Amino acid sequence: MQKKLIALAVAGLVSAPAFAQSNVTIYGVADLGLGFIDGGKAGDTTGLANGAWAGSRLGFRGTEDLGNGLKALFTLEYGLDIDENEGVGTGSLKARQSFVGVQGGFGTVVAGRLQTPGYYFAGKYVPLGGWASVHDFMAGQGQGFSIEDSSRIDSAVGYMTPNFSGFSATLVYGFGDEVNEEDAATPLTNKADNVIALGLNYDNGPLSLGGVYHQLNDPDKSNVAAKREDVKEWALGGSYDFGVAKLFATYQEREIGFYGANADYEDDIWTVGVSAPIGAAGSVSLAYGQYDGDGNSNEADSWSLGYTHALSKRTSLYAMYARLSTDNGYTGYSGTSAAGLGSEKVSILADEDVDRVAVGISHKF
Model confidence at 43, pLDDT cuts 50, 70, 90, reads low
pLDDT of 143 > 60? The answer is: no
Instruction: Catalogue all structural domains in the chain, each as residue range(s) with its CATH number.
Output: 25-364 (2.40.160.10)
Model confidence at 11, pLDDT cuts 50, 70, 90, reads very low
Q: For a pLDDT cut of 70, what percent of the chain falls above it?
A: 70
**pLDDT recorded at residue 189:** 46
pLDDT of 325 > 70? The answer is: yes
Q: Is 130 within 8 Å of 52 (Cβ atoms)? A: yes
Q: How far is CA 67 from CA 19, 70, 103, in A?
A: 20, 6, 11
What are the tens digits of pLDDT across the range 199-210?
Answer: 999 999 999 999
Q: How far is CA 304 from CA 43, 127, 147, 285, 324, in A?
A: 21, 9, 20, 8, 9
**pLDDT recorded at residue 187:** 47
What are the tens digits of pLDDT across the range 189-246?
Answer: 445 678 889 999 999 999 999 999 988 877 665 555 556 677 888 999 999 999 999 9
pLDDT greater at residue 283 or residue 121: 283
pLDDT of 329 > 70? The answer is: no
Alpha carbon distance 243, 236 (integer Å): 23
Average pLDDT, the chain: 79
Model confidence at 262, pLDDT cuts 50, 70, 90, reads low
Q: How far is CA 111 from CA 22, 148, 157, 175, 216, in A?
A: 23, 20, 4, 11, 19
Q: Is 288 within 8 Å of 271 (Cβ atoms)? A: yes
Average pLDDT over residues 142-167: 76
Dihedral (CA of 139, 140, 145, 150) sign: positive
Q: How far is CA 208 from CA 17, 167, 240, in A?
A: 43, 10, 6
**pLDDT recorded at residue 261:** 57
pLDDT of 338 > 50? The answer is: no
Torsion angle, alpha carbons of 303, 200, 142, 49, to 10: -50
- The whole-model pTM stands at 0.81
What are the tens digits of pLDDT across the range 279-321?
Answer: 999 999 999 988 887 766 677 888 899 999 999 999 999 999 9
- Please choose, from the candidates 174, 142, 135, 108, the residue with its C-alpha nearest in 3D space to the C-alpha of residue 53: 135
pLDDT of 78 > 70? The answer is: yes
Q: Is 338 helix (H, G, I), strand (E, B) or coil?
A: helix
The CB-based long-range contact list for 87-96 (8 Å cut-off, 24+ gap) reads 88/58, 91/50, 91/56, 92/336, 92/343, 93/55, 93/57, 96/55, 96/57, 96/59, 96/152
Residue 230 amino acid letter: D
Length of the chain: 365
